[in-house]
Amino acid sequence: MTTDLLVVNPSAKMDMYKNLSSFSALEPPLFAALLASYVRKDGYSVKILDAEVEDLPPNETAARIIECSPRLTAIVVMGINPSASSTPKMPATRRIVHEVKEKDPSAKIILGGIHPAALPEKTLKETEADFIYQGEGYRTITELLNELERGSEDNFKTRGLWYKNSNNKITANAPAPLVENLDSLPLAAWDLLPMEKYRAHNWHCFEDLDHRSPYGVIYTSLGCPFNCSYCNIKTLYNGKPGIRFRSPEKVLEEIDLLVEKYKIKNIKFFDELFTLKQTHVTDICDRITKNDYDLNIWAYARVDTINESILERMKKAGIKWLAYGFESANVNVRKGVSKNFEQSQFERAIDLTRKKGVYIIGNFIFGLPDDNKDTMRETLELAKKYNFEYVNFYTAMAYPGSELYNESLKKGIKLSDNWLEYSQYGYETVPLPTKYLTSKEVLEFRDKAFKEYFSNPKYIDMIREKFGEKVVEHINTMLTYNIRRKILEG
């Protein structure tokens, strides 16, 4: 029996992480699983191929697609960090499509995810894919399968679709509307994934490093109402900021499934901003607490959206880690990317979070447009001062779909078409230059800052006191891995 739809999560682990991949998470591909469940509810037969968790390079991924011979293959170009992991996956995706088309020119392939949605015409020209879907893809894929079932070969009417016609001319259809009622979406198709193979981030399991698996991911809302210039997440939602909430009842239904059927304890709340709506947070957390789950959850928060009450509720529910996007210690640098926080808000959020016993992951970006060496040093010193349980140090990238990308093009800044340069941890990484610094200077500072932070005796002592010697050894092992960088070697 022919499979109607094969949903593929492509792997670019070696391109993006090299020898650091063992420290990162192996996360269930939420968008692929949601797409699969939506299409399946309409009566189509669906499979998922997670090439990332199965560690399949492009040639083996292509071979598995050909072996399945689906009516349509949907490659969802997303990653653990949606806004940062889509673009660097494009070279691997292009290789997969080429190998499939080389062996089976009649195969129908559609690409989706942030990068293809941000640059649909360019992506169609750069790859041999037949279609691009913009937006969430749910209605687009089902409508396209309908048309393919009817034998359509040209002149597609599917909403949200970009495609090449028989004359190789690119056509763009009107966007598909977003799914307004998130409760109308079926639960993600976890049954189509090897759930026992997924693992949490290393820091997420500092309390129990030996049990990073199994690992689950769940959303309680989709979208973000803010418009930070370095972020491109709105691309998934027809290019507009906004947020839709899922009912607490539906969230708990999915947590029940993950806990009871898949024995999952480590969970990521996928929301771009879990703490935005207090009644939503407290309702979900109170229900989790009532059910007496023993969970280890992490979520994203903003310093201006938390208070003592919701922190208490989150801690009781098992939310042990909150990731705050501090970005920069310098107020002018932050304002330059529409991140308008005052220092007092930082201090209040950090103080409250720590008082309630919740661990903090501090997210920082070096090389924002107004950064210089002094402001980047200011950011590093702020991170060291507060001595967070973990930090992520990123470099600023003009990701397609972000305002930073559009602004860079307007200013005449040359942006690379080598998509591997947009990887945070890869060999070919090239950050965006600032008004005052070259890409090389930004990347060099970031890599030295990473070593300086994690080898700081104050940090090591805190880790030893909170998590024990085993985690200290783990951190020291992490520090032995040196990331090779092309622009730093030349």
> Could you read off the pLDDT of 338-387 as tens digits, one per residue?
888 888 898 999 999 999 999 999 999 999 999 999 999 999 999 999 99
Instruction: Say which DSSP state 389 is in.
Output: S
d(CA 294, CA 315): 12
Asked if 131 contacts 163 with a C-beta cutoff of 8 angstroms, the reply is yes
Tokens 């293809």 belong to which residue? 116
Asked if 241 contacts 234 with a C-beta cutoff of 8 angstroms, the reply is yes
d(CA 362, CA 350): 10
**pLDDT value of position 18:** 61
* CA nearest neighbour of 105 among 78, 130, 79, 125: 130
Same domain? For 20 and 156 the reply is: yes
Same domain? For 124 and 203 the reply is: no
pLDDT range class, residue 16, cuts 50, 70, 90? low
**pLDDT value of position 425:** 93
**pLDDT value of position 484:** 93
Q: Does the pLDDT value for residue 173 go beyond 70? A: yes
- Is the residue at 418 inside a domain? no
Strand partners, 162: 132, 172
d(CA 180, CA 279): 19
- Is the residue at 119 inside a domain? yes
- Percentage, residues of the chain above pLDDT 70: 98
Same domain? For 240 and 375 the reply is: yes
- Is the residue at 403 inside a domain? no
Same domain? For 213 and 337 the reply is: yes
For 382, the domain range is: 199-396+431-489
Tokens 């990484």 belong to which residue? 429
- Is the residue at 208 inside a domain? yes
Same domain? For 277 and 156 the reply is: no
Tokens 């003592």 belong to which residue? 308
Same domain? For 164 and 204 the reply is: no
For 154, counting Cβ atoms within 10 Å of its Cβ (0-12 exposed, 13-18 middle, 19+ buried), the class is exposed
Q: Does the pLDDT value for residue 162 go beyond 80? A: yes
**pLDDT value of position 374:** 98
- pTM value is 0.96
> What's the residue count for the chain?
490
Tens digits of per-residue pLDDT, 296-338?
999 999 999 999 999 999 999 999 999 999 999 999 999 998 8
Asked if 397 contacts 422 with a C-beta cutoff of 8 angstroms, the reply is yes
Q: What are the tokens at 447?
A: 């890599």
Tens digits of per-residue pLDDT, 435-455?
999 999 999 999 999 999 999
**pLDDT value of position 166:** 78
Q: Does the pLDDT value for residue 83 go beyond 80? A: no
**pLDDT value of position 23:** 80
Domain-ending residue, one of 137, 172, 207:
172
Q: Does the pLDDT value for residue 184 go beyond 80? A: yes
Same domain? For 96 and 222 the reply is: no
pLDDT range class, residue 165, cuts 50, 70, 90? confident
Tens digits of per-residue pLDDT, 43-77?
999 999 999 999 999 999 999 999 999 999 999 99
pLDDT range class, residue 13, cuts 50, 70, 90? confident
* CA nearest neighbour of 487 among 349, 360, 355, 395: 395
Same domain? For 280 and 383 the reply is: yes
pLDDT range class, residue 21, cuts 50, 70, 90? low
Opening angle at CA 167, ends 161 and 169, nearest 5: 45
Same domain? For 147 and 203 the reply is: no
**pLDDT value of position 170:** 95
Same domain? For 336 and 485 the reply is: yes
- Is the residue at 421 inside a domain? no
**pLDDT value of position 80:** 82
- Is the residue at 189 inside a domain? no
* Cβ atoms within 10 Å of 125's Cβ, excluding its own: 11
Tokens 């970006």 belong to which residue? 365
Looking at residues 189-213, what average pLDDT do you find?
97
Task: Work out the mean pLDDT of the chain and round it to a whole number.
Answer: 94
Instruction: Say which DSSP state 285 is in.
Output: H
Instruction: Say which DSSP state 154 is in.
Output: S
* Cβ atoms within 10 Å of 132's Cβ, excluding its own: 28
- Is the residue at 185 inside a domain? no
DSSP line for 76-124: EE--SSHHHHSGGGHHHHHHHHHHHHHH-TT--EEEEEHHHHHSHHHHH
Same domain? For 267 and 315 the reply is: yes
Number of domains comprising the chain: 2
- Side-chain half-sphere of 453: how many Cα atoms within 13 Å? 26
- Is the residue at 407 inside a domain? no
Q: Does the pLDDT value for residue 175 go beyond 90? A: yes
Tens digits of per-residue pLDDT, 242-255?
999 999 999 999 99
The β-bridge relationship of strands 359-366 and 109-113 is unpaired
Q: Does the pLDDT value for residue 429 go beyond 80? A: yes
Find the radius of gyration of the CA atoms of the chain. 22
Q: What are the tokens at 276?
A: 């935005």
d(CA 387, CA 79): 28
Same domain? For 244 and 139 the reply is: no
Asked if 295 contacts 318 with a C-beta cutoff of 8 angstroms, the reply is yes
Here the CATH number for the domain that contains residue 442 is 3.80.30.20
Looking at residues 100-114, what average pLDDT do you find?
97
Is the previous residue joined to 214 through a cis bond, with omega within 30 degrees of 0? Answer: yes
Strand partners, 433: none
